Chains A and B, each alone.
Chain A
Amino acid sequence: MDKIGIPRGLFYYYYGDIWKYFFENLKISYIVSPNTNKEIMEKALKASGDEMCLSLKTYLGHVEYLKDKCQYILIPRISNYKKNNQTCTNFWAVYDIVKNQTDTKLLHYNIDLEKRKTLKKGLYKIAKQLGKEKHQIRKAYKNAIIRYKKQRKKEISINLNKLKSDKTKILIVSHPYNTYDSLIGKDIIKYLIKNDVEVIYCDKFSSKITNKLGETLAKELYFKYSKDNIGSIVYCKDKIDGIIFISSFPCAPDSLVNELVTRKIKIPNINLIIDDNSSFTGLETRLESFLDMLGGLDND
């Protein structure tokens, strides 16, 4: 039995790599739940309330999957990244929701930069709980962060290079836990790549740049992840041909922000909303006509 279970959802797409490197360095065994599949989805629907957003539902499904496969499940809580950079309230609540549902022990830390609770402190706390020495932790954390930063830099430069391509360029504006989830966004991305489209991801820009740019499009916005996402639109607005918004039903920040942004920008865009009943066939038709329209614009 592995020691730590990491659910592949929500936080995983922001911190998964750091966690993996950190635990590898400390020689702690971990298991990451597989890509969202039918089995997990069935578990998710049983474990979650019917009005929760699809991303939270699948996350709870992943937790259910891991329940008897590990000793601890890692579930952090993220409240804010300094002033005016809140996260969605689901990120605040998910630890308490899971705690009341499962008997498996939970590992958790809290990121709340307004109260000076950082990732570093959180990971130190977890490792200490698992019985590691301080000097080991320090080394492991340092290595993990360096490795993560290197990898991130590479991803960003690949993404930036795509902007120079001659193909039709489409920016995907969506939270990474939706974009890369095999049930929500993966099919869409696959379809686009198959149709010879250069896919640019909104989360693979430096957040320092996009966060500030996001404010120019939506002033006083205080959702950090949404700000990063829409900042990428401002960053590459002259270089892209179209935008695809993907959101899970019913995402709270997206319902406001995407509506506001689509009213303000003048780039062709479609808004795809995925719920637990939607099939890819329906989406395919919409994507096809969107691509046709973009092609038509080029020919004129």
Chain B
Amino acid sequence: MINIAFPQMGDYYVPANYLLSHIFKANVIKAPKITSKTIELGTKNSPEFICTPFKYTLGTMIECLDKKANILIQMGGGCRYGYYANLQEKILQDLGYEFKMINLVTKGDTNFRRINKLFKQIDPKYSKLKTIYYGFISLKMVKYMDKIDDYIRQNIGFEQKKGSFENLKAEMLIKFSKVKSYIELKKLYNKYLKRFKNIKTHKPDKPLKIGIIGELYTLMEPFSNYYLEKQLAQNNIEIKRFTNVHYLLFEKSKKLKKYLKNNEYVKYNMGADASDNINHCKYLCENGYDGIIHIKSSFCTPEIGAMPIINKIASKYEVPILFFSFDSATSETGIKTRLEAFYDMLEMRKRN
């Protein structure tokens, strides 16, 4: 019996689960929600100064293996994230687990030949045609989810009935996971977009607007940033976030090339999302955002390099900026206090 598992990130388990369960005759194990126990498991078995996503994903993998998973899927980004899989495989083997690790992406790129080879390891008889079809649907699903998330982020701070956005989104995700064809998905998307727009809000003309930039995993996995977006929304703030899976997969490389031409701050790609974030910071400053929050996991090398430049831009435009570096040992109260002070300061600036 094949039991596939993968570390989760935000709500993206829905399309991933959809894809895997349609291509393979396999049982897809849904990774349990990240809790403090997951982090403890991850930290205990991780090397000393590794960045935090390693600990989170390792912890999740151990929990999945305890649920009898025997195939693990991991992906990698353009920094050292790309080499996570090999070390995690070794660590888990040393712990005595038996499984197969499939690493779909290394150093930020992949191709069809590689994916084909790896999928054959899981199931030699998998159908390529099916993979392309369901892959297409899953990617579209990601796109629609990201679009809806963008809308939610702008409006959730002003909802009249508490929880109306969240409840509708949960309902939508369940419907999405049961789609049969692309047309059905598209119809569902249009229907839910309308319903989201019909939710009553009391948005003022000029609300406080905050842009969130930073390292991708910490941005997209709400547990790892201690539900930062939720806390902001509770204070009636409109939120803008650039990084999502659709951006990383399809828009990033094109946009980055455009950014780097004739740019006074950066000339080269500084690794992972560093150059993107510098340009996003500039965009936020120029488009009248009241504040910027930069978040990352501790020891994230590319972001550490980008921070002095981001700071320079923000102080040039006189936009307040708050830096958070999340570790597995960060206390939630500390974050709350700093966030409240930041929010109060922004509001005072706005009134004057």
**Most chain B CB neighbours (cut-off 10 Å) among A77, A84, A255, A258:** A255
Chain B 47-71 residues near chain A, CB threshold 8 A: 47-51
Closest to B91 in A: A263
Query: Is B267 at the interface (CB under 8 A from chain A)?
Result: yes
A300 to chain B, nearest CB (A): 27
Q: Give chain A residues whose Cβ lies under 8 Å from the Cβ of B80.
A: 252-253, 255-256
Q: A49: which of B48, B103, B266, B304 is its contact (CB, 8 Å)?
A: B304
Judge whether A89 and B305 touch: CB under 8 Å.
yes
Contact string against B for A residues 231-264, beta-carbon threshold 8 Å, 1 for contact and 0 otherwise: 0000000000000000001111101111110011
| Residue pair A93, B306 in contact (C-beta under 8 Å) | yes
Contact of A90 among B83, B266, B305, B312 (CB under 8 A): B305
Complex alpha-carbon distance, A101 and B107, angstroms: 29
Within 8 Å of chain B (Cβ to Cβ): is A290?
no
Least distance between A117 CB and chain B CB atoms (Å): 11
Count of chain B residues with Cβ under 8 Å from any Cβ of A? 40
Q: Give the chain B neighbours of A267 by CB distance below 8 A.
A: none
Q: How many residues of A contact B (CB 8 A)?
A: 42
Q: Mark B254-278, 1 if CB is under 8 A from A, else 0.
A: 0000000000011111111011000
Q: Please judge, given known A-B contacts A95-B267, A100-B312, A260-B90, whether A221 and B83 are in contact too, CB under 8 Å.
A: yes
B48 partner residues in chain A, CB cutoff 8 A: 255, 273
Q: Which of B262-319 contact A (CB under 8 A)?
A: 265-272, 274-275, 298-299, 301-302, 304-309, 312
Are the C-beta atoms of B312 and A249 separated by less than 8 Å? Answer: no
- Residue in B closest to A247 when the chains form the complex, CB atoms: B49
Task: Tell me whether A88 and B301 are in contact (CB under 8 A).
Answer: yes
Query: Cβ of A92 < 8 Å from any Cβ of B?
Result: yes
Q: Which residues of B contact A88 (CB under 8 A)?
A: 301
Within 8 Å of chain A (Cβ to Cβ): is B325? yes
Nearest B residue to A47 via CB reads B308
Tell me if B267 and A99 are in contact (CB < 8 A).
Answer: yes
Q: Which of B47, B270, B325 contacts A92 (CB 8 A)?
A: B270
Instruction: Name which of B82, B91, B265 has the most chain A CB atoms within 10 A of its CB.
Output: B82
* Docked pose: A256 CA to B309 CA in angstroms: 27
A100 vs B274: C-alpha distance when bound (angstroms): 14
- Interface bits A42-58 vs B (CB < 8 Å: 1, else 0): 00000001011100100
In this assembly, does A174 line the interface, its C-beta being within 8 Å of a C-beta of chain B?
A: no
| A221 close to B86 (CB less than 8 A) | yes
What are the residues of chain B within 8 A of A255 when measuring CB–CB?
Answer: 47-50, 80, 299
**Do the beta carbons of A260 and B308 come within 8 Å of each other?**
no
With A and B bound together, what is the CA distance between A143 and B103 in angstroms? Answer: 45
Residues of chain B contacted by A99 (CB below 8 angstroms): 267
CA gap between A181 and B80 in the complex, in Å: 24
* A222 within 8 Å of B (CB atoms): yes
Give the contacting residue for B304; candidates A52, A79, A86, A258; CB below 8 A.
A52
Tell me whether A220 and B312 are in contact in the complex, defined as CB-CB below 8 angstroms, given that A52-B304, A256-B87, A273-B48 are known contacts.
no
What's the Cα separation between A52 and B49 when bound, in Å?
A: 12
In the bound complex, residues from chain B placing their C-beta under 8 Å from that of A260 are 86-87, 90
Is A96 located at the chain interface by the 8 A CB criterion? yes
**Contacting B270 at CB < 8 Å: which of A53, A96, A218, A220?**
A96
Q: Report the separation of the CA atoms of residues A205 and B144 in the bound assembly, to the nearest whole angstrom.
A: 53
Q: Are A250 and B308 in contact (CB under 8 A)?
A: no
A110 at the interface (CB under 8 A from B): yes
Contacts of B82-120 to chain A: CB distance below 8 A: 82-84, 86-87, 90-91, 94, 103, 106-107
Contacts of B267 in A (CB 8 A): 95-96, 99
The answer to whether A95 touches B305 (Cβ under 8 A) is no
Q: Which residue of A lies closest to B311 (CB)?
A: A49
A258 cross-chain contacts in B, Cβ below 8 A? 47
A291 to chain B, nearest CB (A): 23
Whether B271 and A101, one on each chain, are in contact in the complex, defined by CB atoms closer than 8 angstroms, is no
B308 A89 Cβ-Cβ under 8 A: no
Asked whether A96 lies within 8 Å of B309 as measured between CB atoms, the reply is: yes
Against B, the Cβ 8 Å flags (1 = close, 0 = not) of A98-129 are: 01110000000010000000000000000000
Residues of A within 8 A of B208 (CB): none
Bound-complex Cα distance A215 to B271 (A): 23
> Could you say which residues of chain B place their CB within 8 Å of the CB of A135?
none
Residue of A nearest to B50 (CB): A255
Residue of A53, A97, A223, A273 touching B308 (CB-CB under 8 A): A97
Chain B residues near A223: list those with CB within 8 A: 83
What separation, in Å, do the CA atoms of A223 and B79 have in the docked complex?
A: 10
Would you call B306 and A220 a contact (CB within 8 A)?
Answer: no
CA distance in complex: A94, B84 (Å): 24
Q: Can you list, as one digit per residue, whether each of B135-148 has a CB less than 8 Å from chain A (1) or not (0)?
A: 00000000000000
Contact between A252 and B299 (Cβ–Cβ < 8 Å)? Answer: yes
A93-B306, A253-B80 known; A51 and B298 CB under 8 Å?
yes
Extra inter-chain contacts (7) besides given A51-B304, A251-B49, CB under 8 Å = A89-B79, A89-B271, A93-B306, A96-B267, A220-B83, A222-B83, A258-B47
A-binding residues in B (CB < 8 A): 47-51, 79-80, 82-84, 86-87, 90-91, 94, 103, 106-107, 265-272, 274-275, 298-299, 301-302, 304-309, 312, 325
Pull 25 A–B residue pairs with CB atoms less than 8 Å apart, ordered by A.
A49-B304, A49-B307, A49-B308, A51-B298, A51-B307, A52-B305, A79-B268, A79-B269, A88-B301, A89-B272, A92-B271, A93-B274, A95-B267, A96-B268, A222-B106, A222-B107, A223-B83, A250-B49, A252-B79, A252-B299, A256-B50, A259-B50, A260-B90, A263-B94, A273-B48
